[in-house]
Copies of this chain bind each other. A is one copy, B any other.
Amino acid sequence: MGRRPRIGDVAREAGVSKTAVSFAFNQPDNLNATTRERILAVAAEIGYRPSPIARRLAARRTDQIGLVVPQSTHDIFANPFVAELVRGLGDECDEQGIAVVIVPPVRGSIARSIEAALVDGLILLGLEPDHPELELVRRGDLPIVALDVEAWDGASVIAIDDVEGARQAAAHLRELGHRDIVVLLIARHPDTPADERGGMSARRLRGVRDGLGLAQEALDGQVNEGAAALRLRVLAVSVSEEGGRDAFAALAQDLPTAIVTMSDVVAIGVLNAALDAGVQVPGRLSIIGFDDVPAASWTSPRLTTVHQPIREKGRLAARRLIDAIRSGSGRHSGTDRLPTRLVVRGSTASPPVASAG
């Protein structure tokens, strides 16, 4: 008899039916006050608590939503952006009594973890609509909200104005007079050299080229003749401080006058590596971040960065998803595009007057 008490145990002990016990917990008004009290007393006495899983099975809802991420929890949460996003999700979910569960790939397969996820809906971060492992999601009936994609059939999209943000960043550098610039894109997979073909990186790169006044066909961007010679290099790095440090190390032999990154944490890595190497920021090297996470204004110099409303993004994603879940249709759609803006702080300045090389 050491097992967990079930609803039947309470019923027997209180001399009522299972229905009555269920009513006592969920629809008290269906019961005479005396009976209800007796049932609750018995339940308390034998330590009965309705099983959450059984409850959720019958209710056909889990009251949980999943945040699907393309990499391990370890890697993903190295980016302060994600913590901010979760804060935003929490704003909406805590209020609605919905729990957030993290859904990273399990043994390399994101399909597997989604398949097993105990959720009523999904928020997709860092995943493009044509991702091979998402066939199941595309055909499935689970409501989803996709973050930072161009469009997603049958799902709501929360995006930002990537192109404009990147354009402003690049224009800022151009106005300062930079002619030797490196763009650090985000490496989706460490093996993929860069992701210029589609998705967020492509959009932002387009914005950078536009802001620099470059033709878009200069895809490999070696040396490009503008007014003066303009040199644009593109690298892909992993999204972490380490990634930024690695990029700096790789560039140390032939440092540009400005580096524009697609993530503050990468920018911070570049900044720290530069400071460690005795390279002056912004005197010798200008750095631009992206996201405007809180830590972007904790550095010295504080980071010039493209601001996006991360928490608002999370809050909105949760709200759209919950709406879709409640409406019950499964398929839904619509795009919310949130504004970006360049925040000029201390990590950018004009390039050094005598540029070697």
Contacts and interface: CB of A to CB of B under 8 A. Distances in A.
By DSSP majority rule, is chain A's interface helix, strand, loop, or mixed?
helix
Contacts of A49: 115, 136, 140
Interface centre among A47, A78, A99, A300, by most chain B C-beta atoms within 10 angstroms, is A99
A94 B77 contact: no
B115 A90 contact: no
Contact of A87 (B4, B74, B90): B74
Contacts of A243: none
Given A4-B141, A294-B241, A298-B299, A104 B115 contact: no
Given A57-B54, A118-B53, A295-B295, A103 B99 contact: yes
Interface string A58-92: 00001110000000111011101011101111110
A74 B101 contact: no
A343 interface: no
A41 to B, nearest CB: 16
Interface in A10-65: 47, 49, 51-54, 56-57, 62-64
A97 interface: yes
Nearest to A102: B100
B101 A268 contact: no
Interface of A: 4, 47, 49, 51-54, 56-57, 62-64, 72-74, 76-78, 80, 82-84, 86-91, 93-94, 97, 99-107, 113, 115-118, 136, 139-141, 241, 268, 272, 275, 294-295, 297-300, 311
Given A94-B105, A118-B118, A241-B294, 17 more contacts: A53-B53, A53-B57, A56-B118, A64-B118, A72-B90, A73-B91, A74-B91, A76-B90, A77-B84, A80-B80, A80-B295, A83-B83, A99-B117, A100-B102, A241-B298, A272-B298, A298-B299
17 contacts: A4-B141, A47-B140, A52-B115, A52-B118, A63-B116, A72-B91, A73-B87, A77-B90, A78-B87, A78-B294, A80-B80, A86-B102, A97-B116, A99-B101, A99-B103, A275-B300, A299-B299
